[in-house]
Amino acid sequence: MVDAITEFVVGKIGNYLIEEASMLIGVKDDLEELKTELRCIHGYLKDVEAREREDEASKEWSKLVLDFAYDVEDVLDTYHLKLEERSQRRGLRRLTNKIGRKMDAYNIVDDIKILKRRILDITRKRETYGIGGLKEPQGGGNTSSLRVRQLRRARSVDQEEVVVGLEDDAKILLEKLLYYEDKSRFIISIFGMGGLGKTALARKLYNSGDVKERFKYRAWTYVSQEYKTGDILMRIIRSLRMTFGEESEKIRKFAEEELEVYLHGLLEGKKYLVVVDDIWEREAWESLKRALPCNHEGSRVIITTRIKAVAEGVDGRFYAHKLRFLTFEESWELFEQRAFRNIQRKDEDLLKTGKEMVQKCRGLPLCIVVLAGLLSRKTPSEWNDVCNSLWRHLKDDSIHISTVFDLSFKDLRHESKLCFLYLSIFPEDYEIDREKLIHLLVAEGFIQGNEEETMEDVARSYIEELIDRSLLEAVRRKRRKVMSCRIHHLLRDVAIKKSKELNFVNVYNDHLAQHSSTTCRREVVHHLIRRYSSEKYKNKRTRSFLYFGESGCLVGRDSETMKLLDSETMKLLRVLHLGGLRFHFASNGDLIHLRYLGIHGYYFSYYLAFISKLRFLQTLDASLDASGHIISETVDLRKLTSLRHVIGKFFGELLIGDAANLQTLRSISSDSWNKLKHELLINLRDLEIYEYSTSEERRVPVSWASLTKLRNLRVLKLRAKCGVYLWLESEEAVRSMDVISPSLESVTLVGITFEEDPMPFFQKMPRLEGLILENCHYSGGKMSVSEQGFGRLRKLCFFMESLDELQIEEEAMPHLIELLIISKELEKLKLIIPNRLRACMR
């Protein structure tokens, strides 16, 4: 594991030598020497960690290397901080800069001399105790970066997960879902040990065509050990997709009791199916059941749990189903699907080796898929090496998931190892937004871009690799892309354990109440911890602080709001994810290393002055509150020239300077948007313009001409508050639509008024895969799609105030898989569409 950290630090030294050459001119040779020594040591670490078991001497030596690597990072980051602080001094303080710079230079020379002595001592210890072999340093794993990109491009991310085996279980449960005579609310509990596939089976039932046809109203939520009933209820409401626009905004502010009443009202008199995944205690069901009506419509609830007492402890009518292990035949089918996808020829010896390993997995699906993910990236000649290694670690004549994971983890490149360990920051069963994870990984400095791909694209490839290896589960997909993911709780436990050993992440919650560390790089809080002493939190080496929990202040002694984050002790911070946490930040200078700031929109006004100083910030995310709080103040980001992602509801004026790096901008008012220099937004990929105003005077039309300059734009959302409309100049739109969207994949329009049928120009977008028209007005009555229209469209949704006729020609939309039409006068709507598209309607 230590090799991932050393490789990261080696890369960081290299970046400093390239980007900060002038400031390091006096110590450049020494740094190059440190880099070379550390790279050589990295090679020995790879050899140590490749062994079946580490001896105590190797473990202690690895710890020395880890501490040394972290100290190198601290010295470089601290020196860079001091130079940046001096460069910003004004007035009389600037006169002391020359002397100060000399002192800083002497200090770093002394620091590096000490580091050189330490690394020589580490090398001597290795030689004295015979640690490691003489292998050349390796890049990590057996897969080159080029090979990973080739594999990624060869496979569609949108591949549907196929649940192998359990056909008999599915048949029994489908019978209970569809044909059980009881018309009252009926509960099906699926229980069994972790890794058996309870969630996969529930998802197979949930996505069954017969189930979709029988239950018009379906919802999915998860619970886990750490839950809040309000969050569970909110996920069910969102999943039902029965609320839109202003109504959605309103319910985000509901208290738990209000959500309970609201959900009950939504489902009253309706036939529904709700899946409640991963319940750990009966109290969770007790707090949820009141919101699910006990009507006589034939509604069903599916519960998954590891605990038999929970499965059988629900009241009312229920059926408890214990999940079995897979048979060998089912295990082999599951293994075959994943392990052989990159192998063209399967000889008898390879099949024999594979079957021997699968036999030892004893029918546990999680163990099988992780093993298959590992072997799918191995050559046939390497399968025997994996098999031999597994045989040496058999427990009770079985392969355990921990053994398979260790092999899979060691096979990862160092960047992918860091990405996996970083997953330990998220709470159990947390649905991880992919883009948020990417922004965090980039901000942490784990990702290096290249000439062909941005840092974000590279990070996506690492996430896809973890999914490909079954170390991460894709939860939600959109436009053939993974939108959110989740880590299995067994694998998350391993990630937390390894992260703690490496001083990589320290997690605080009700179940993991560790003491604060003075050396750990990342501190994570999962719940509001009151009376948490500020004296415990003085870690000058912290690179990240992340909070996932309810809103509020973190309170110190004497009920005074404590200074949780002190700039004097947190100057090396790269990531600050505060969620709903509010704190007093006594800042005497910039946080020049800060790359990510995530805050609650409600508290945004408290941080305006602080934010304006974050010159090197990459991501500003002010959307971390469920209510979607509107930011009405003027926000000046003109000094933040490194911005890549700006997220929040910016109703007031939003001032942006050099925006060449900007990729995400959502959402901005139409007035602020029209004032920007659009020709500078050359890398913008995701844009949302949201008109919040109800005043005719403040509403400004969005010009399609302003969008023609966004050549890399992929996602476009134009939204108007319910009852307010954005008027788009249709003649100009028609003229420019051919050139507006060479890369657009998704268009969402809310509250838009069309003077002419918009289909003729939307259908010309060459890459458009999703089109949503919500609460839109069109007085023309008829919309038409020609034969050649929408060549790539997969999803088309109409939530129209009024529409008389929709006509789609026979050859149009050849790839459409979802057609959703909701109208106040749906029964009067004249539909002239191909029969094949009627099958896509829901």
What digits encode the pLDDT tens for the residues 340-372? Answer: 877 777 888 899 999 999 999 999 999 999 999
What digits encode the pLDDT tens for the residues 370-389? Answer: 999 999 888 888 998 899 88
| Closest by Cα among 164, 95, 123 to 33 | 123
Average pLDDT over residues 48-52: 67
The residue written with tokens 């999915």 in the block is 220
Residue 422 has pLDDT above 90, yes or no: yes
Q: 3-state class of 757 per DSSP?
A: coil
Band (456; pLDDT cuts 50, 70, 90): very high
Residue 471 has pLDDT above 70, yes or no: yes
Average pLDDT over residues 619-648: 87
166-322 and 415-502: identical CATH topology: no
What digits encode the pLDDT tens for the residues 227-247? Answer: 888 888 888 888 887 776 667
Instruction: Provide the token pair at 339.
Output: 């392990």
Q: How far is CA 314 from the centre of its chain?
A: 33
Residue 763 has pLDDT above 80, yes or no: yes
Rounded Cα gap, residues 684 and 712, in angstroms: 6
Which is higher by pLDDT, 692 or 619?
Answer: 619
Band (136; pLDDT cuts 50, 70, 90): very low
Burial per residue of 640-670, b for 16 or more beta-carbon CB atoms within 10 angstroms, e otherwise:
beebbbbbbbbbbebebeebebbbbbbbbbb
- For residue 156, what are the CA distances in angstroms to 152, 203, 254, 572, 814? 8, 20, 40, 39, 18
Q: 3-state class of 667 per DSSP?
A: strand
Using an 8 Å Cβ cutoff, are 785 and 809 in contact? yes
The 10 Å Cβ neighbour count of residue 55 is 13
SS (HEC) of 269-291: CCCEEEEEEEECCHHHHHHHHCC
Rounded Cα gap, residues 575 and 595, in angstroms: 6
Band (99; pLDDT cuts 50, 70, 90): low
pLDDT attached to residue 179: 81
What digits encode the pLDDT tens for the residues 727-736? Answer: 555 445 545 5
Q: Is 124 exposed, middle or buried (0-12, 13-18, 19+ CB in 10 A)?
A: exposed
Residue 807 has pLDDT above 80, yes or no: yes
CA atoms 223, 229, 234, 239: torsion sign = positive
The residue written with tokens 């036939």 in the block is 271
Question: For the chain, how many residues are written?
Answer: 842
The pTM assigned to this predicted structure is 0.84
| Closest by Cα among 802, 790, 800 to 840 | 790
What one-character-per-residue DSSP string does 427-467 give? Answer: PTT--EEHHHHHHHHHHHT-----SSS-HHHHHHHHHHHHH
pLDDT attached to residue 355: 93
DSSP β-bridge partners for residue 477: 482
Rounded Cα gap, residues 300 and 321, in angstroms: 15
Instruction: Provide the token pair at 268.
Output: 């009253």
Burial per residue of 428-444, b for 16 or more beta-carbon CB atoms within 10 angstroms, e otherwise:
bbbebebbbbbbbbbbb
pLDDT attached to residue 550: 67
Average pLDDT over residues 429-438: 93
The 10 Å Cβ neighbour count of residue 197 is 27
The β-bridge relationship of strands 506-508 and 272-279 is unpaired
Residue 194 has pLDDT above 90, yes or no: no
The residue written with tokens 């160092």 in the block is 414
Using an 8 Å Cβ cutoff, are 109 and 27 in contact? yes
Using an 8 Å Cβ cutoff, are 66 and 38 in contact? no
pLDDT attached to residue 231: 83
Instruction: Provide the token pair at 553.
Output: 């202040």
DSSP β-bridge partners for residue 546: 524, 577
Cα of first residue to Cα of last residue in the chain, in angstroms, is: 49
Band (589; pLDDT cuts 50, 70, 90): low
Q: Thinking of the domain 166-322, which architecture would CATH place it in?
A: 3-Layer(aba) Sandwich (3.40)
What digits encode the pLDDT tens for the residues 502-549? Answer: 889 988 765 544 555 667 888 888 865 554 444 445 677 889 989 887
Instruction: Provide the token pair at 808.
Output: 């789609």
| Closest by Cα among 171, 181, 178, 201 to 189 | 201
Annotated domain spans of the chain: 1-129, 166-322, 326-411, 415-502, 503-668, 683-841
Rounded Cα gap, residues 178 and 184, in angstroms: 13
555: which DSSP letter?
Answer: B
What digits encode the pLDDT tens for the residues 642-698? Answer: 999 999 999 889 999 888 899 999 989 888 888 888 888 989 999 999 877 666 555
pLDDT attached to residue 434: 95
pLDDT attached to residue 322: 92
What digits encode the pLDDT tens for the residues 8-42? Answer: 888 888 887 777 666 666 678 888 888 888 888 88
| Closest by Cα among 360, 342, 339, 362 to 351 | 339
Residue 148 has pLDDT above 50, yes or no: no
Rounded Cα gap, residues 385 and 372, in angstroms: 14
Average pLDDT over residues 60-74: 88
Instruction: Provide the token pair at 661.
Output: 């790096």
pLDDT above 90 as % of the chain: 25
Q: How far is CA 685 from the centre of its chain?
A: 17
The residue written with tokens 């901008």 in the block is 665
- For residue 103, what are the CA distances in angstroms to 23, 92, 106, 112, 753? 13, 18, 5, 14, 65
Residue 331 has pLDDT above 60, yes or no: yes
Residue 335 has pLDDT above 90, yes or no: yes
Residue 158 has pLDDT above 50, yes or no: no
Residue 804 has pLDDT above 60, yes or no: yes
Residue 212 has pLDDT above 70, yes or no: yes
**What does pLDDT average to over the chain?**
81
614: left (phi over 0), alpha (psi -120 to 50) or beta: beta
Give the contacts of 147 (CB within 8 A, at least 6 positions apart): none
Rounded Cα gap, residues 395 and 456, in angstroms: 41
The top-level CATH class assigned to 415-502 is mainly alpha
Average pLDDT over residues 290-297: 86
What one-letter code names the amino acid at 801? E
Rounded Cα gap, residues 230 and 254, in angstroms: 9
Using an 8 Å Cβ cutoff, are 775 and 798 in contact? no
